[in-house]
A and B are shown apart, each in its own frame.
Chain A
Amino acid sequence: MKRSSSLRGYVITRTLLAIPMLLILLTVVFLLMRVAPGDPISAALGGKLPAAELARRKHDAGYDRPLAVQYVEYLKDVATLNFGTTILDNRPVTQVIAQNGAATLELTFFAMIVAMVAGVGIGLLAGAYRDTAIDLGGRLFGIVLYAAPVFFLGFLAQLTFGKWLDWLPTSGQTSPVVGATLQTHTNILVIDAIIDRNWSALQDVLRHLIMPSVVLGLVIGGIFIRLVRVNLLQTMKGDYVEAARARGVKEPRVVYKHAFKNALVPVITIMGLTFALLLGGAVLTEETFNWPGIGAELVRYLDNRDYIAVQGIVVVTGIIVVIVSLAIDILNAWVDPRIRY
């Protein structure tokens, strides 16, 4: 009884704390975009339109009103999930998020699987066999993976598996033909192909997916290796591990039964933080492999000085990160009662 009420208390406090955080996030994005010289319309279209037309568009969009009025208007828009329409190609930002976000989701989902398998596996081995060749190898592998920029690994992969071995396509999400013929249901191409039972398209989509997701997954996995190892080492020093040893429990059982599970608790927290990192990593991976995700789209809009699009995309990703970290914190509090202070 007491347990559930304290968890509820934690959830409520944590959720309430997320609100000022979101507000600050929104304000900072708004101010950043207004600090930039000129208003969004002149920045994007200046020089391309006559002055009178520019002024008319500015007035229509409300950029000639006082900043405070614009700010309130902006908060209202965000509250009603209206993130505006891009200036460059007149797409609602929500549509950009849905379409390109789906491509990013597909990429990051598979990357996360690669990262989990490689990172947690190698990290556990390295931690369990501390100061042996396995540990050294695993750690070096982890450090080198972390040290390699995702675009450099991508370059090497393109060179090796794309050019020299000619096994995999190096860019894009599909071949042109498949891209043109595949029906859209969810914007996530793997699922779309399965819904249509279009197996040749599925094969094409998966082939395009392998290189980007493995490259991104390995880079994220490098961080997991280090974390899992250090956490395992710290839990191995815990009293309960000592107690298990003292009772004569065999070493492998100590590692897997007593230390391993506890070592994974902090890893869940970090996975939440990695989510933000994953979005950053996705920008680079998308640029490297010509993947039409949200990160590549953001860079394209920034290149074209489309502040509305940039503001919309940054705000939405910020909101998603805040919500995910909220969810992870609550999950952690549920798993580990010590967090609910």
Chain B
Amino acid sequence: MASQLETPPVPSSPQELDDLAPMQRRRLGALRRMWAPMHDAKGMPKAIVWVGIGITVAFILMAIFATQIAPYAFDQYKTAEGVRFIKQQAPSAQHLFGTNVMSTDVLSRVIFGSRTAIEVVLLSLFVSMGIGLPLGLISGYHGGKLDRTLLVFMDAMLAFPSLLFAIVIAFLLSKTFGHGVVTAALAISIVYVPQYFRVVRNHVISIREESYVEAARAMGARPWTIMRRYVLQNVIQNVPIIATLNAADAILTLAALGFLGYGIQPTEAAEWGYDIQRAISDAGAGIWWTGLFPGLAIVLLVTGLTLVGEGLNDVLNPVIRKRPIEPVELPPREGAEAEPEPGDEDQT
């Protein structure tokens, strides 16, 4: 997304485009094709994407500069002078969001939690896409026995309630990788591999029968070339949508793992789900700040990512995309006195 935002303004008229060198034109053409629906989008879908991007970028910045922004370390429970923070203290000037049952600063844990969340999401997206995408491509393109075997296997994986699956995997992996970011990310990735596989495979199968693929095959293109140039190019368009929606889901899964005690341990990193779990028993005592702030952080970040994904879907998905109706310009009729009205064509 970001790389597209930084590109120079795309020429808006065909005349401008013609002035550019052919190579440049080709590159811009591809970018223009990708960007065009975003550009055409009007009203709500556009607003939704931008609000989502805004929220997501804010959290990414918070994650990058966590050390600079946060007033304390995520596991700090006493001042530099060695004075212990008061446990479950209400929000005050020293602790804007109060302190929790572990005597740590809630604000600092919320800020550092964004770093943990983004690390885990990036790692898990990378791993699950790295496995799911190629497998889906190969399985969908080749078909036959390989496809059927992989399909049954992946469907069996999908049949597991995903959270239970993630818990068991996290539990098993924690013996090798400890209770940190890597274990959580791997447990989450394993859950998403079958989903990527399914989406990519189904898409590939529908593309495989398209006439342009057939044409390429008839012209003697090698399977690898067809897969890369014609199939992957088309599948990849859907990836941003799936990836953002899955990232949102991954954050919820991470929080759920933490909530159940099978995610990231409090000594390793700050994690919102774990903090809410510790806060549940505070509710009975009317202590609201320990659970409210980490919860709001989850809701905001997941909402942001979902808005990006949903908005992109509205903008890119041709089935539900609403495009502005452009007036049809007909060549002047011979002998006609007046110019035909735009849209006349529809009525004839």
Residues on A close to B: CB < 8 A?
Answer: 17, 20-22, 24-25, 28, 32, 35-37, 131, 135-136, 139, 143-144, 146-149, 151-152, 154-156, 158-159, 162-164, 170, 226, 230, 233-234, 237, 276-277, 279-281, 283-284, 287-288, 295, 298-299, 302-303, 310, 314, 317-318, 321-322, 325
Residue B261, interface by CB 8 Å = yes
A32 and B306 contacting across the interface, CB-CB below 8 Å: no
The 8 A CB mask of B297-326 against A (1 = contact, 0 = none) is: 011101100110010000000011000000
Which listed residue, B162, B172, B256, touches A284 by the CB 8 Å rule?
A: B256
Q: Given the complex of chains A and B, what is the CA–CA distance between A230 and B158 in angstroms?
A: 23
B284 and A302 contacting across the interface, CB-CB below 8 Å: no
Residue B335, interface by CB 8 Å = no
Closest to A289 in B: B280
B295 and A149 contacting across the interface, CB-CB below 8 Å: yes
| A25-B160, A155-B295, A321-B160 known; A303+B288 contact, CB < 8 A | no
Residue B113, interface by CB 8 Å = no
A280 and B161 contacting across the interface, CB-CB below 8 Å: yes
Contacts of B171 in A (CB 8 A): 302
Interface of A is mostly: helix
Q: Given the complex of chains A and B, what is the CA–CA distance between A37 and B176 in angstroms?
A: 11
Q: What are 10 A-B pairs with beta-carbon distances under 8 A?
A: A24-B153, A32-B172, A135-B44, A139-B310, A143-B310, A149-B273, A151-B259, A152-B291, A302-B262, A321-B159
Residues on B close to A: CB < 8 A?
Answer: 43-44, 152-153, 155-164, 167-169, 171-172, 175, 248, 252, 255-256, 259-262, 273, 276-277, 279-280, 283-286, 288, 291-292, 295, 298-300, 302-303, 306-307, 310, 319-320
Specify which of B163, B288, B310 lies most central, judged by the most chain A CB atoms within 10 Å of its CB. B163
A156 and B295 contacting across the interface, CB-CB below 8 Å: yes
Q: Given the complex of chains A and B, what is the CA–CA distance between A144 and B256 in angstroms?
A: 17
Interface of B is mostly: helix
Shortest Cβ gap from A9 to chain B (Å): 18
B280 and A151 contacting across the interface, CB-CB below 8 Å: yes
Q: Given the complex of chains A and B, what is the CA–CA distance between A207 and B296 in angstroms?
A: 28
Which listed residue, B44, B156, B260, B299, touches A21 by the CB 8 Å rule?
A: B156
Closest to B260 in A: A299
Contacts of A24 in B (CB 8 A): 152-153, 156
Contacts of A295 in B (CB 8 A): 164
Closest to A230 in B: B320
Q: Given the complex of chains A and B, what is the CA–CA distance between A318 and B168 in angstroms?
A: 13
A143 and B161 contacting across the interface, CB-CB below 8 Å: no
| A147-B302, A148-B299, A152-B291 known; A280+B162 contact, CB < 8 A | yes
B152 and A21 contacting across the interface, CB-CB below 8 Å: yes
Which listed residue, A149, A163, A302, touches B298 by the CB 8 Å rule?
A: A149
Contacts of B252 in A (CB 8 A): 147, 149
Which listed residue, A25, A155, A226, A303, touches B159 by the CB 8 Å rule?
A: A25
Q: Given the complex of chains A and B, what is the CA–CA distance between A17 and B159 in angstroms?
A: 13
Q: Given contact pairs A280-B163, A287-B260, A302-B171, enumerate 4 new A-B contacts (beta carbons under 8 Å).
A: A28-B157, A152-B295, A159-B283, A283-B163
B152 and A20 contacting across the interface, CB-CB below 8 Å: yes
A147 and B299 contacting across the interface, CB-CB below 8 Å: yes
Shortest Cβ gap from B291 to chain A (Å): 4
A314 and B164 contacting across the interface, CB-CB below 8 Å: yes
Smallest CB-CB A-B distances: 5 pairs: A280-B163, A152-B295, A147-B302, A24-B156, A158-B283
A147 and B260 contacting across the interface, CB-CB below 8 Å: no
Closest to B285 in A: A163
B43 and A131 contacting across the interface, CB-CB below 8 Å: yes
